[in-house]
Chain A
Amino acid sequence: MEYVVRLAQVHESFRIPELKALASLANIDLEILTYSPDSPFCVIRLSSDEAARKLVSRSILTDSIYELWGSGTDYEALHADIHHRTQHRWPEYKTCSFKFKVLGYQHTLSQRAQVKVIESFDYLPFEGPIKMKNPEYDFGVLEHYVIRTKIPTIIYFGRFIADGGRNIYLPYDLKKRQYISTTSMDSELTFITANIAMAAPGKLLYDPFVGTGSLPIACSHFGAMTMGSDIDGRTVRGTKEKNITTNFDQYGLRPCLLDNFTSDLTNTPLRLTRFLDGIVCDPPYGVREGLRTLGKKDGTGLEVVYIDGVAAHLRPNYIHPKKSYSFDAMLEDVLDFAVLTLVDGGRLCMWMPTANEQGNEVDIPKHPSLQLEDVSTQAFNKWSRCLLTYSRLPDSEVVEVKTRTRPEILPGANADTLNSFRKRYFQGFRTPESTNGTRTP
């Protein structure tokens, strides 16, 4: 059966990855028939209304789903298509209560014009009562207008099946969260990430750059057990009144919080065994927060330092030396870690910043044991961030064996030489020519 999904017209490149992930999670066969980033309407094929309900119930980017009765580029074509597709089913609806509504995208018809549209469906032999509240069947006329025009370019007609999950993330608004930091991710995107990571009851997900816990909270909302770590011990601990645990308490998600601890992903204390169902992370980009690993910048510190006869690192409040780290090397560490710890089919959802430069293909980190499922982009003015989604292939399906050479990080390397994104960011993403152009008197 064909269905038309009314999507939210935001975060466009995340919409299909989210639907695909939810279909896979619920074991639903999903076939995308028509989709365009410019349109909120997407036509799909599913086996049943039940599958449609399951598919969209937790979809953050779905407004609603309708069983498709017809579509057309004008009303004449629409009515012809409705006759063609559904005429044999009309008697089923003869005595039921029903209602019609007209929903336009980029233009809303006046009340009077809507009535006129609804009256054009008078050939449907519906004799039951019209009920505006809780009718047995709810039909929608979905119009798509090109902006600032008054004639729809495509119209869909369908029977309403279910609402999506647009409201799920609203109670998680960062403004009302007790413990956040400058880089906490907004709740809508964390919930989309949790869906694409296929967070669900019974699973264990891990965030190696947990910060204030935004991503694990979204995953735990969907029932997954979550665990997080961060190299910044102050963030992991928070204060007595405000910390990651109190955030979980705020939403009643404490039973889904396994543990948080302080650690460096490059020197991870986690056992390298296949025990994680998913990894979600938004690594530090090196702009608002530094990008660090353990060790000293100048390569010293190889011997134990004693203060008053006690080894310094065993004294209370010892601060572990950290040095700048290369962003590319860190992304590769994440991938290597994911390969070693994810179960077969387990997902890695990782955010990565890129500069918006024409002709510059985004350099996406790759690993032969990880299949790249989706790349979704959130664009800002001069830069973007992408959500990269990988799934762990079973070892039997891995073809090429990887040998990788990594440039050695020399002692004394500073944040700019290690992290080209950071460098470009602070240069304002100017090209060499434009810099010359504006600076020449």
Chain B
Amino acid sequence: MKILTLNFLTCARKACKPQATSFPLHPADSTLEIQESDLNIIFLQNILPRLDWPALISITTELGLPGLQAEPPEAEDLVVKEGGAKAEGEGMEVTEKSEESEKEASQLGKDLHRLLIETTIQEGKLMCACCGHEYAIKEGIANFLLPSHLV
């Protein structure tokens, strides 16, 4: 389970959903693994405004991952700004070329890719702070089914 997915998950119980404490779910006994993947900067830019940034900060803190800036970045912060230091010296040709080719990821873009897409929880539990129910993650796949007394 990727850290990005965790940002879209809450407790499966209907009773918990309206409660603020049901999100985010809190990882416990987690075994983390880095699964390298191609950088997809267009996707990160599109998904960025849909993230709950404070929840992402709290999850990274709980998992002991590198800290994040307090304020959510803007989509353009994920790519190297055009007309920056790189374009110096070569002038016009570079700007023309950059329009054609893919945008280059900034350090922040690369860091977010590492955190959201490449960092996965392979084994562990996700706990709802509202009802205390724990959902198991096995081999990277979480199980959100509920026993009948919690439905």
Contacts and interface: CB of A to CB of B under 8 A. Distances in A.
A binds B: yes
Interface of A: 201-204, 225, 227, 229, 231, 233, 236-237, 254-256, 258-264, 267-275, 277, 294-296, 300-304, 312-314, 318, 320-321, 343
B141 A236 contact: yes
Given A227-B5, A259-B2, A313 B147 contact: yes
B135 A255 contact: no
A343 B45 CA distance: 15
Interface stretch (B34-42, B65-73, B91-99): B34-42
A265 B10 CA distance: 13
A269 B43 contact: no
Interface stretch (B11-19, B56-64, B79-87, B104-112): B11-19
Contact of A204 (B10, B47, B134, B147): B47
List 8 A-B pairs, minimum CB-CB distance, nearest first: A301-B148, A313-B147, A202-B42, A263-B144, A320-B145, A269-B144, A255-B38, A269-B12
Contacts of B50: 273-275, 343
A304 B46 CA distance: 43
Contacts of A295: 148, 151
A304 B141 contact: no
Contacts of A233: 141, 143, 145
Nearest to A313: B147
Given A262-B141, A263-B12, 17 more contacts: A202-B43, A204-B43, A255-B38, A258-B5, A259-B2, A259-B5, A259-B140, A263-B144, A270-B8, A273-B8, A273-B50, A273-B52, A294-B146, A295-B151, A301-B148, A321-B147, A343-B50
B144 to A, nearest CB: 4
Interface string B126-144: 0000000011001111111
Contact of A201 (B9, B12, B43, B140): B43
A275 B135 CA distance: 22
Contacts, number: 120
Contacts of B139: 237
A268 B146 CA distance: 10
Interface residues of B, number: 40
A294 B46 contact: no
Contact of A271 (B23, B45, B143, B145): B23
A230 to B, nearest CB: 11
Nearest to A225: B43
Contacts of A277: 46
- Most chain A CB neighbours (cut-off 10 Å) among B10, B12, B45, B145: B145
Contacts of B1: 259, 261
Contacts of A225: 40, 43
B42 to A, nearest CB: 4
A313 to B, nearest CB: 4
A117 B14 CA distance: 70
A269 B9 contact: yes
Given A261-B1, A269-B12, A270-B8, A303 B147 contact: no
B132 to A, nearest CB: 11
A255 B146 contact: no
B87 to A, nearest CB: 25
Contact of B146 (A256, A259, A267, A312): A267
